[in-house]
Amino acid sequence: MTTELRKTTDQFHMALRVVMMPRDANQYGTIFGGVILSYIDQAGFIEARRHGTHRWVTVSVDRVEFRAPVQIGDVVSFLTITERTGTSSVKVRIRVEAERDLTGEKVHVTEASLTMVSVDASCKPIPFSSPPTVAASIPGPPTP
């Protein structure tokens, strides 16, 4: 069953905030579009994980249009909301805003929609409502 969810701007979650560094910039001093796309993907995962602790993979990304450049030093926010839920998939909307380093002005950079699918260890889709399938993979400190 697919469920369409209502959304307004104030229902978005703050998934990620990142300061753009010189290493992220092209030869013109603005940030590579691919860097922003990579953070969009991470933000999609963070939103999807709210629905279940599983492996999540990106199955599709809708058209992305950049409305304004991102500059070195900008604080970029990735705001997310779930637009639709299915059985193993969720469709996530990501809104990207840049806060200019020197002026603090907020600029709407782009929006994107991603579909994420919860999968098992063999990459087979599983219902995201199932109990957690991912355990901590990094061992904790040794107990005395």
Ligand X SMILES: CC(C)(COP(=O)(O)OP(=O)(O)OC[C@H]1O[C@@H](n2cnc3c(N)ncnc32)[C@H](O)[C@@H]1OP(=O)(O)O)[C@@H](O)C(=O)NCCC(=O)NCCS
89 scored as a contact of ligand X (CB under 6 A): yes
Specify whether the backbone of 104 is left (phi greater than 0), alpha (psi in -120 to 50) or beta.
left
Establish if 82 lies at the interface with ligand X (CB under 6 A). no
Residue 42 within binding range of ligand X, rule CB under 6 A? no
Can you tell me which of 60, 62, 68, 105 binds ligand X, judged by CB under 6 A?
Answer: 60
115 binds ligand X (CB under 6 A): yes
Pairing of strands 13-19, 106-119: unpaired
Nearer to ligand X, 73 or 86 (CB): 86
Candidate list 18, 37, 57, 134; residue touching ligand X; CB under 6 A: 57
Q: Are 14 and 46 in contact (CB under 8 A)?
A: no
Ramachandran assignment for 29, one of left (phi > 0), alpha (psi -120 to 50 degrees), beta (any other) = left
Is 119 a residue that touches ligand X (CB under 6 A)? yes
Decide if residue 126 touches ligand X (CB under 6 A).
Answer: no
Residue among 111, 38, 117 nearest 80 (CA): 111
26: contact with ligand X by CB under 6 A = no
Residues 6+ apart with CB under 8 A from 43: 15, 16, 78, 79, 80, 92, 94
Contact with ligand X (CB under 6 A) among 107, 125, 133, 134: 125
Contact residues toward ligand X (CB under 6 A) are 57-60, 86-89, 115, 117, 119, 123, 125
